[in-house]
Amino acid sequence: MFAELIKKREVLDVLVQKDFKARYKDKALGRFWSLADPLVMVIVFTIVFEYIFKTGQPYFPIFLLLGLTPYRFFTNSVNAAAGSGLDNAQLVKKVAFPRIILPFASVLSHMRHFFIELLLVLGLFLYFPAAFHLSINLLWLPLVFALQCLFIQSVAMIVAALNVRYRDTQYMLNSVLLILYWMTPLFYSFSIVPRKLALFLQWNPMVGVVEGYRAILLKGAPPSFQLLGVAAITSTLLLFIGTYVFKKYEKLFADYL
């Protein structure tokens, strides 16, 4: 399946470009909206958690953005992947190509948005230079990013296949993402979570991803190998499940659409 994906990478590139351009079509501010949305969220949540609840977290805007940015990459990619089959129904019916390209294109398209949003992180580090820690531990960033992409792509394959067969998958997905939103340490540090609850929450791979980015960039420390290990196990298991589910329904896409 993945070998076919490489052979048909031209189709993948076309779908990625189509999705990326469609998001900014007829919008006066264009790609600026990729920065405006998370920027507004950071401002609002900073006011709420810094000045109302007074968390006392140093450099809270950066702390928050290092959680929101990877989580937005996850939710936006998965939501787009869920609708990728329905959105490209005519293409699926008329053109022969590996269907795995559909969720891959959704993830790659939103990966671009992820990199654009990282410009906000860079801007905040320039504004708060003392928050950034330059160290050898920056070499761990590719590993954290790779685990993040592995998890996102695995979930994307599952929801892309299920939503073609069961149209209410999208509605169930919204509820699941809402639960994961609060199970991911976006507004709080994972270190303050009670131990019994932490043992459960750590199985959410986004916990290891978010805490990994914060440890490396804000503390100059290596990421938690326990959290990354659990994230790797969970994501790899989901990859096998996603591959099985997608292969099971892939040949029936045209029939259900």
pLDDT score, position 96: 73
* Calpha distance 233→239 (Å, rounded): 10
| 60-88 confidence digits (pLDDT tens) | 999 999 999 999 999 999 999 998 888 87
* Calpha distance 73→86 (Å, rounded): 21
pLDDT score, position 68: 94
More confident residue, 102 or 96: 102
Asked if the model's pLDDT at residue 6 lies above 90, the reply is no
The residues, ordered by sequence, that sit 6+ positions from 27 with a Cβ below 8 Å of its Cβ are: 33
* Calpha distance 103→100 (Å, rounded): 6
* Calpha distance 15→94 (Å, rounded): 15
pLDDT score, position 253: 78
Q: Is the Cβ–Cβ distance between 43 and 50 less than 8 Å?
A: no
* Calpha distance 196→41 (Å, rounded): 30
pLDDT score, position 31: 63
Output the pTM of the full model: 0.89
Alpha-carbon Rg for the chain, nearest whole angstrom, is 19
Coil, helix or strand for 187? coil
The domain locations on the chain are 2-256
Amino acid at 92: V
| 121-144 confidence digits (pLDDT tens) | 999 999 989 899 889 999 999 999
| 183-234 confidence digits (pLDDT tens) | 999 989 998 999 999 999 999 999 999 999 999 999 999 999 999 999 999 9
pLDDT score, position 73: 95
* Calpha distance 130→73 (Å, rounded): 27
Average pLDDT over the chain, rounded to whole?
87
**Looking at 95-99, 144-148, 163-167, 170-174, which range is the least confident one?**
95-99
pLDDT score, position 7: 72
- Please list the alpha-helical segments (H only) found in 1-100: 2-7, 9-24, 33-46, 60-82, 84-87, 89-94
| 11-55 confidence digits (pLDDT tens) | 778 778 777 776 666 555 556 766 778 888 888 888 888 888 777
Asked if the model's pLDDT at residue 91 lies above 70, the reply is yes
